[in-house]
């Protein structure tokens, strides 16, 4: 493991049992423009807290809903957000923060100020768990290395169609139909369920103690916190053992990692295990690819556990069109299809390419990838190269460093060279380039993509800029025509 792994979460309060948010409780959220933290802001606000947020990255697709709710946001970090010297009555009673921030900058001014004033600092996931405790709804958590956001959105769609009015958090934008307001990653409802996406990174899901858990798949990822595959399995097993005593686990036992975890649980786990083993061929599924078919079967099994009528389950499976940045069609301009996807793991990329080939048979595919962190790219470089080399054309944007302290261990060009080498050795025509920033990558694609081709943009950092800018450039060149 890297040194970063030892520092993740340093300075944060230990995970505790969720408690109801007190009316008027003053809470400040760092990194509020992120997918998860923005949901924590919204849910705490709806639970009755006085919430503020800050993010030096500025506005994002996730902040529109916060602005509409009238939640105060500022686009910088400053100790004064905690000190509130001129208005001490507005001093926060606790801070919610992304765990990795404590590793990147342990001397962060707001964290230091909170420490000096003995103000508790907790992961934003704790805030979401507390919002669920405030509503008293039973927690339904969706976990797995891949497919969490799509499956969470699917489950929300199912519950909404069933009239169950769930509260929810998903790691991707949910549309207005699901939210009942501007697209966001949070939903507030009065029904019996509170659905959450449960991420395993650095124990992010530890705050969630579900009554129903879905486990979609499990394999090695996040090498900065998991030394190997077994460490991932241990994390999932530990989390499930901390679920409610009578919890139900919906498990995709066709996945090797899930089967291993369930085998470890079975001898002494107090909950109930339900296999997601229906045949996808028995259903009409609206999302493409084998991975979505497997996710759909988890939704089917969860629907039965939650008592949803079979006809509504079938309706949701056929009608649900996904969540933001999950094979999202950004446009087809001048005969060029532009898709945007969050995939950033070799397996996720392979499954996404497989789905795209099925959607657009016989059309050349560009795999455009913004690698997520340097250490991850270096440790998985061979697997990334093997997967990306199956595309017809490949472009690698500059690596998004995120929480990574060492930006010297690899590069976008190194990955591009590895992809080109794989393609040459296998006799395919694919070559890879590394055009530079996400903006430069979009510009390169606008000059080099041809009518009839599909451009699949993938990544977990700022890769969405590539897709959006490419669409804008193509429209400008075609006079806005499709």
**From the CB of residue 50, how many other CB atoms can be counted at a distance below 10 Å?**
17
Q: How far is CA 165 from CA 117, 160, 178, 191, 248, in A?
A: 40, 5, 10, 5, 21
Q: Which of 462, 458, 450, 415 is nearest to 434 (CA)?
A: 415
Q: Quick one: pLDDT at residue 481? A: 58
Q: Which of 303, 35, 348 is nearest to 173 (CA)?
A: 35
User: What token pair was written down for 286?
Assistant: 């609206």
So what CATH class is 137-319? alpha beta
Q: How far is CA 318 from CA 47, 164, 170, 293, in A?
A: 33, 19, 20, 11
Q: Quick one: pLDDT at residue 300? A: 98
In the chain, domain spans: 3-124, 137-319, 328-478
CA distance 266 to 269: 6
Q: Quick one: pLDDT at residue 6? A: 42
CA distance 196 to 389: 35
Check residue 62 and report its DSSP letter: T
pTM of the predicted structure, to 2 decimals: 0.85
Query: Which residues have a Cβ under 8 Å from the Cβ of 76 and sit 6 or more positions away?
Result: 54, 56
Beta bridge partners of 140: 195, 212
3-state SS of the chain: helix, strand, coil percent to 5? 40, 20, 40
Give me the tens of pLDDT residue by residue for the chain, a chain 482 residues long. 333 444 556 667 778 899 999 999 999 999 999 999 999 999 999 999 999 999 998 998 899 999 999 999 999 999 999 999 888 989 999 999 987 676 666 678 999 999 999 999 999 999 999 999 999 999 999 999 999 999 999 999 999 999 999 999 999 999 988 888 889 999 999 999 999 999 999 899 999 999 999 999 999 988 888 999 999 999 999 999 999 999 999 999 999 999 999 999 999 999 999 999 999 999 999 998 899 999 999 999 999 999 999 999 999 999 998 887 888 999 999 999 999 998 888 988 998 999 999 999 999 999 999 999 999 899 999 999 999 999 999 999 999 987 777 899 999 999 999 999 998 887 766 789 999 999 999 999 999 999 999 999 999 889 999 999 999 999 998 776 56
Say which CATH architecture domain 3-124 belongs to.
3-Layer(aba) Sandwich (3.40)
Fold of 328-478: 3.90.190
Q: In what order do the strands lie in the sheet with 50-54?
A: 73-74, 50-54, 26-30, 94-97, 121-123
Q: Quick one: pLDDT at residue 9? A: 63
């Amino acid at each position: 493991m890297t040194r970063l792994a030892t520092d993740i979460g340093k300075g944060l309060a230990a995970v505790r049992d969720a408690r109801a948010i007190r009316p008027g409780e003053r809470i400040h959220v760092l990194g509020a423009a992120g997918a998860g933290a923005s949901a924590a802001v919204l849910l705490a606000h709806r639970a009755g807290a006085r919430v503020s947020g800050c993010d030096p990255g500025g506005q994002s697709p996730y902040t529109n809903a916060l602005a509409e709710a009238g939640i105060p946001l500022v686009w910088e970090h400053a100790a004064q957000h905690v000190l509130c010297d001129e208005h001490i009555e507005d001093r926060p009673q606790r801070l919610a923060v992304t765990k990795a921030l404590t590793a990147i900058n342990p001397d962060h001014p707001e964290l230091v100020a909170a420490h000096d004033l003995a103000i508790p600092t907790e992961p934003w996931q704790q805030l979401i768990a507390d919002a669920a405790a405030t509503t008293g709804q039973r927690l339904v958590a969706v976990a797995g290395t891949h497919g969490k956001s799509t499956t969470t959105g699917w489950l929300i769609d199912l519950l909404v169609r069933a009239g169950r009015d769930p509260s929810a958090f998903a790691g991707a934008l949910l549309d207005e139909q699901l939210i009942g307001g501007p697209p966001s990653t949070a939903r507030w409802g009065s029904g019996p369920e509170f659905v959450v996406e449960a991420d395993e990174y650095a124990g992010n899901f530890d705050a969630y103690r579900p009554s129903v858990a879905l486990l979609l798949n499990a394999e090695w990822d996040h090498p900065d916190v998991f030394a190997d595959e077994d460490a991932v399995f241990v994390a999932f097993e530990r989390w499930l053992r901390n679920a409610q005593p009578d919890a139900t686990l919906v498990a995709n036992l066709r996945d090797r990692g899930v089967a291993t975890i369930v085998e470890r649980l079975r001898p002494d786990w107090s909950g109930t295990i339900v296999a997601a083993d229906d045949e996808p061929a028995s259903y009409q599924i609206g999302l493409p690819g084998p991975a979505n078919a497997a996710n759909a079967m988890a939704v089917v099994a969860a629907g039965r556990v939650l008592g949803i009528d079979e006809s509504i389950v079938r309706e949701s499976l056929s009608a649900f069109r996904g969540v933001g940045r999950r094979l999202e069609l950004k446009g087809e301009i001048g005969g060029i299809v532009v898709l945007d996807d969050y995939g950033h793991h070799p397996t996720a990329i392979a499954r996404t390419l497989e789905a795209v080939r099925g959607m657009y048979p016989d059309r050349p595919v560009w795999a455009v990838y913004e690698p997520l962190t340097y250490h991850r790219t270096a440790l998985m470089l061979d697997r990334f190269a093997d997967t990306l080399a199956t595309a017809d054309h490949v472009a690698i944007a500059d690596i998004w460093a995120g929480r990574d302290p060492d930006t010297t261990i690899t590069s976008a060009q190194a990955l591009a060279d590895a992809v080109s080498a794989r393609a040459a050795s296998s006799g395919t025509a694919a070559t890879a380039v590394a055009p530079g920033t996400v903006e430069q990558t979009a510009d390169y694609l606008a000059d080099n993509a041809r009518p009839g081709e599909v451009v699949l943009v993938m990544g977990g950092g700022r890769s969405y800029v590539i897709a959006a800018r490419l669409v804008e450039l193509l429209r400008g060149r075609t006079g806005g025509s499709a």
